Structure 1
Amino acid sequence: MKEEFILNKNHLSYWLRQIRKNRELIGPMINGGNDIVFKSVEKIHEIALNCTASLPSPKEFLFPQYEPMLKMHHPSSINRQEIIDLSDKTKRVIFGVRSCDISALALLDKFYLEGYKDPYYSERRKNTIFISIVCNNPDPTCFCIGLKTGPYLENGFDIQITDLGDRYFLQADSQEGKKAVRSMSFLFSRPKKADYEDQYEVFLSSKARFHKRINLEGIRQIILSGKIRDDFWQHVSERCFECGGCVYECPLCTCFTVIDRQYSGSTERIRLWDTCMFKGFTRMTGGVLPNEKMVKRTKRWYYHKLIYYPETLGSFGCVGCGRCTITCPGKIDMASTAAKLKSLAIIDGEL
């Protein structure tokens, strides 16, 4: 059961400073080029509290873009062969995550932890606490409200905070989240009736600010009807630059490749992000490319998100974060593709 508190805004930096004594603190920080990215916090007062929701996904702290897995010293370099486990055991708190990304974590957990448990993801996941922030002002590209993945969550988070102006309404759902609050209980007070009323007003205001409201279940049914010709996917794929930006920015894409790199006296095994949108992703023995044509890869990506994910993981492979809208130079994204599929569906006889 959730525990709810009120935190004075003046006490936030002190609370985070105390948390940082036992864990690495990650937060949205202004980078050298004025971009805001998640990185280790050195000066807490420099955390970008009012940044947009479309930051790079925090999934990189659980599933890094470049991840050394193990290192093996060759017998020729030392007396015996030695294999070193390079799994990351760092304890972290990631502050400033949005609700859509917390919703994405639930699906990443299913992918990496159910059935075969990925030991590298598992190690990071159990050592990471997420403090999410309710979106008072959703970005114009966001459509999480139609997927019920934001702008706030009823459960499934560690700690969720809502900005009420001069104070934060704080909710702790997981055991680790509750511990992080209880350890500094003197900073918090219990909410009063006025706090609940202000929280509800924030929720109503946030919901009213969305520019996009998209029902992906309707789009899924349109695809399953079998009436969408490949001409449609050809038109979409013709605008693709094959840059991979959409999948690298997506908080739910999980494709990777594993390579061994040889060094003097040792070999290192590395996991790297990959993407099914690249033609070489499914390269087979002998150099055969089953999906050499871009139209096949484009169609597969949308089928994966809208058909395969619901069938296997119980939810869409999209949380409505809008990152693909911002990233794609060819103006291909989930929201616009869904809108075009819907427009096709309402034109009688044109499917």
Structure 2
Amino acid sequence: MRTTSVGVFKVATKGPGDVSGLISLIGSGAIDPASILAILGKTEGNGGVNDFTREYAVAALCTALAPKLDLTPHEVEQRIAFVMSGGTEGVLSPHITVFTRQQVATPHAGIAGKRLSIGMAQTRDFLPEELGRSAQITETARAVKAAMADAGISDAADVHFVQIKCPLLTSERVEAAAARGAKTATISAYSSMAYSRGASALGVAVALGEVASDISDDVVLRRYDLFSKVASTSSGIELMHNVVIVLGNSEGSASEFEIGHAVMDDAIDAAAVMSALKSVGLGTTPKSGRELVNILAKAEASPDGTVRGSRHTMLEDTDISSTRHARAAVGGLIAGLAGTSAVYVSGGAEHQGPAGGGPVAVIAHLP
């Protein structure tokens, strides 16, 4: 019996503090604020340690939703999973994607097969010295399994995208660890983003059986042959725990949406993007009535310095971060194939797909 209905709404933003589109949808009755489970966003910051557009966007959304839910902004942040990915380089357009979930007594007529389902979970807060290490991997794996259960998904094959917001190190956090006699994985705030993303992605891989469960600390950012095909992780300064959102398809969902995915082998893998589109009935010959809602993808500069044998300079550019180059390149590729620049492309794909590549998921609205 189908018991839940998941909705997906993509809303353009004029800036990281713009909540007008969401409030308009709430005012029109299109979105019941009590049903909002998660909000993913692309903000126009630099995507680095000091990208405060992420925190600004979350604060603006929590402040706007608080009176609608009769909660404080802090309580809103505890209730809803917010994942803001900074960086809209190239043609990428700032936007938010709002996911809702409601219980339903009678599903819409004609719904058959597995439909979009969403689940959420959180890890405990991490100590600075645990970031990028086995503790983060183990706790993330537990949270992924909890989020799958929350989504009503039991088969790992039905999981198509796992979005995680994870912490990073600051000088203050590194010093706090040192004061206790503990050593962090790195003392660089920027490098810590990669360590945290990588460990979180390996946690997804462990949970879904993509890799063995006995992963040691020295695997992170070294064994790039170990990865998840559906993990998407994004580091931020605004938290010390992992927020986990599982997106997949379930027989128990009465949603009007469906999700599918593919894995890009490199930054110019157009065939994988087309495969992801086709997996939900889109592509060159789309099924009648189906509409693209959003594409969610990861991007990174290949660590070996090449793309299909040709040298790239993304890792040697001291003016612009390689993650910014990668977002622009992959964002342009996906936008051109999808026909829209309002797509969610996150940089830094350590252990998220093969080295230099990354997962790409597509959400479609069914007739």
Which TM-score applies when normalising by structure 1?
0.25
More helix by share: 1
More strand by share: 2
Which TM-score applies when normalising by structure 2?
0.24
Larger Rg: 1
